[in-house]
Structure 1
Amino acid sequence: MSVEEIFAFHAQEVGPVRFAEPFGGWVATRYPDVRRVLADHEVFSSDELRYSTQPIPHGANPLLRSLQATDPPGHHALRRIVSQVFTPRAVSALEPLITAKVHALLASAGPVFDLVGEVAHPLSVHTIAGLLGVRPARWPDFVRWTEAITSFFGRFTADEARRTAFHQALTELGAYFREEFERPAGIIATLMAAGLTEDELINFCTLLLINGHETTKTLLVNAVLCLASAPKPADVRPAVEEVLRYLPPTGGTDRFVTRPTALGGAELRPGQRVVAMITAANRDPAVFADPHTFDPDRTANPHLSFGHGIHFCLGAHLARSEVRAALTALLDRPWRIADLDTHRTPVGIDVRKVTLATGR
């Protein structure tokens, strides 16, 4: 699949709220509808285990009990504890280490290298693992566990091989973190001191592990895809925001209706799933001028790629910092995309390898 085909895949149509059988629920694509679904947690809950009326074969997934799937008041109490790790000041303190890691990775890469395997993945895993105090020898396990957990949902729960890998990953991941709790370091020590239970710790560490490194890795890869044929931006900050709008690392997110409500003219019932299509909302022509054009200097850019409301991404500052550091270093040298390796996944297109060739 080419870069142009990836862009075309994400150029979704914006229209009325509709019921989609493949999703087993309603799909919102207009910016105001998506923004409301993300913000109105009293009507559109993140708690699938509590509100979904459909079977949940992946119910053992710790992410379904983590911060992102918790409603107030429990959400507020938990977020107050964990947010201390991700304040702008805390992230700023990490920036020299992130920049040093970027330069070390690029220095060790040859004139032709895989952006995913040699830069994006090591950078994101190194940062998250460092926060958690995880030993480098276990980083490959993190990648394997992430793949097994995130690929087991929806119609893919009927796949016996995926089911086996999912439960094995949960067992291994839980056992690993329980070992780490015996000798806490990094933010694990901070969270244990705040009085989180063992289950709460495992749920949050899983959330940080999966969302933290996957989102950042994908955002950096997407930034390179977007900037490969674009003029060099004068400032990487608006360029990163435009990548978030144009080619977000997460295409959408689920919510569950808690009481009868209307959304975009559709009547929704309690327990129904609503898929908030962030990719489509970010291209809403009523909000974004020339929405299907990538403009690295775009200034008015209220994209929804990190969410909105109480579930706004806790690690947004960190993800932005990592990607800005990597892009700044990459843009200091000439490079081009020599090859792409992609495949379709349950949630879209996974770019498994991006071969970059440096030099004129």
Structure 2
Amino acid sequence: MSVEEIFAFHEQEAGPVRFVESFGGWVVTRYSEVDRVLTEHAVFSSDELRYSDRPIPHGSNPLLRGLQAMDPPRHHVLRRIVSQVFTPRAVSSLEPSITEKVHTLLASAGETFDLIGEVAYPLSVHTIASLLGVQPSRWPDFVRWTEAITSFFGTFTADEARRIAFDQAVEEMGDYFREEFERPAGVIATLMASELTEDELIDFCALLLINGHETTKTLLVNAVLCLVARPKPADLRLAVEEVLRYLPPTGGTDRFVTRPTTLGGQELRPGQRVVAMITAANRDPEVFPDPQTFDPDRTPNPHLSFGHGIHFCLGAHLARLEARITLAALLARPWRIADLDTHRTPVGIDVLKATLVTR
């Protein structure tokens, strides 16, 4: 579904909550309803394996068993354990390493370079790998596993080639982390000192690996697309928040109805899928004045791009830090976009590849 189609849902008289057969569930676009879906975890669960009333071909996906797909009380226990990795102090301690990596990447870039391949991916993977305490030789596997796992969902589960790649990635990733548990370092060493089971450790490492570098990579590219043709923003913190609102790295997120409820005037039954369209909610005119305009000085900016409620993104502070450091370095140089190789992502945002060149 394209961005334009998402916004069309928001504007149609049918209302902000519509059942869309191609999605196999309810699409929610207005800010107030999206916020409710994200925060009322007792009614709108993240646990697809437990509550979905439809078959789940991608049921072995570790993300469906991890923290982001878990309800209380177990969610709260695990969140307290893993949140120590992302405290403000822990994230701040990574700033020197991230800054050094950004400047190294830009110094080695030629006159023309691929923003994703030469900057965004290496930086985000470097950061996550450093947290996990793994060697650079395995970074290409990180990218391959992520792409295979995240591309196997919805109607794509009928694609046999995707299924084979998905199964292989899940198996290889599990084997890899079990090897790391035998010589723990970084975050893995910290988490192994807790009472997490081996499966819980693998699921969290998978969540950190996949969401940690994929989201940050997309945020960096989106930020460049939003800012490169503009004067340098007065406050990069505000500018990054506006990028998150205007062109978020994630178009939406799923929840599953646990009991009969009403949402936006529609009756929802247990087991149904609800797609909370963050992209559309972030442009709700009832919350954001002139929502179709990119305003790097926008404040307040209560976007929902990192979620809300108990599943608010653990890595939000880290993603913001990486974006600010990279943008500061890029905007201090005379770069421009020379070419934009676009292709349609699952959420319909054509932003994934840009080439920068010296002016």
Equivalent AA in structure 2 for residue 346 of structure 1: P
Does 2:358 match 1:347? no
1:333, distance to aligned residue in structure 2 (A)? 1.3
Q: Which amino acid aligns with 2:251?
A: G
SS of the residue 2:271 aligns to? coil
Instruction: Give 5+ residue unaligned stretches, structure 2.
Output: none
1-structure distance, mates of 2:312, 2:16 = 24
Aligned partners of 1:260 and 1:269 also within 8 Å: yes
State the alpha-carbon separation in 1 of the partners of residues 198 and 291 from structure 2.
45
Aligned to 2:354, what secondary structure does the other structure show?
strand
Is the contact between residue 3 and residue 348 of structure 2 (CA under 8 Å) also seen in structure 1? no
Residues 322-347 of structure 1: CA deviation (Å, up to 9, x unaligned): 00000001111111111112222333
> Does the 8 Å CA contact 2:29/2:278 hold for their aligned counterparts?
yes
Aligned residue in 1 for 2:233: 233
TM-superposed CA distance for 1:230, in Å, is 2.4
C-alpha spacing 1:10/1:273, structure 2 compared with 1 (3 Å): closer
How many angstroms apart in 1 are the aligned matches of 2:351 and 2:28? 26
Would the aligned equivalents of 2:221 and 2:352 in 1 still touch at CA under 8 Å?
Answer: no
Q: Distance in 2 between matches of 1:29 and 1:307?
A: 14
Corresponding position of 1:90: 90
**CA shift at 1:352, angstroms?**
4.3
User: Residue 64 of structure 1 aligns with which residue?
Assistant: 64
SS in 2 for 1:348: coil
149-158 or 226-235: bigger deviation:
226-235
- Letter paired with 1:306: F
Runs of 4+ aligned structure 1 residues displaced above 6 Å come to none
Letter in 2 for 1:182: E
Answer yes or no: is the 8 Å Cα contact 2:258–2:271 preserved in 1.
yes
State TM-score, norm by structure 1: 0.96
Q: Structure 1: 5+ residue runs without aligned partners? A: 1-5
The corresponding residue for 2:129 is 129
Alignment-mate amino acid for residue 65 of structure 2: R
1:21 matched residue in structure 2:
21
How high is the sequence identity, in percent, across the aligned residues?
81
Q: Is the 8 A contact 1:61 1:170 kept in 2?
A: yes
* Residue aligning to 1:3: none
Q: CA deviation at 1:235?
A: 1.1
Aligned to 1:187: 187
- How far apart, CA to CA, are the structure 1 residues paired with 2:222 and 2:110? 21
What's the Cα RMSD here?
Answer: 1.3
Aligned partners of 1:44 and 1:256 also within 8 Å: yes
1:343 counterpart SS class: coil
Q: After TM superposition, give the deviation of residue 56 of structure 1 in Å.
A: 0.2
Q: Counterparts of 1:84-233 in structure 2 under 5 Å?
A: 84-233=84-233
Amino acid at match of 1:161: A
Whole-angstrom distance in 2 between the partners of 1:277 and 1:336: 31
The Cα of 1:10 is off from its aligned counterpart by 7.1
1:12–1:279 contact (8 Å) kept in structure 2: no
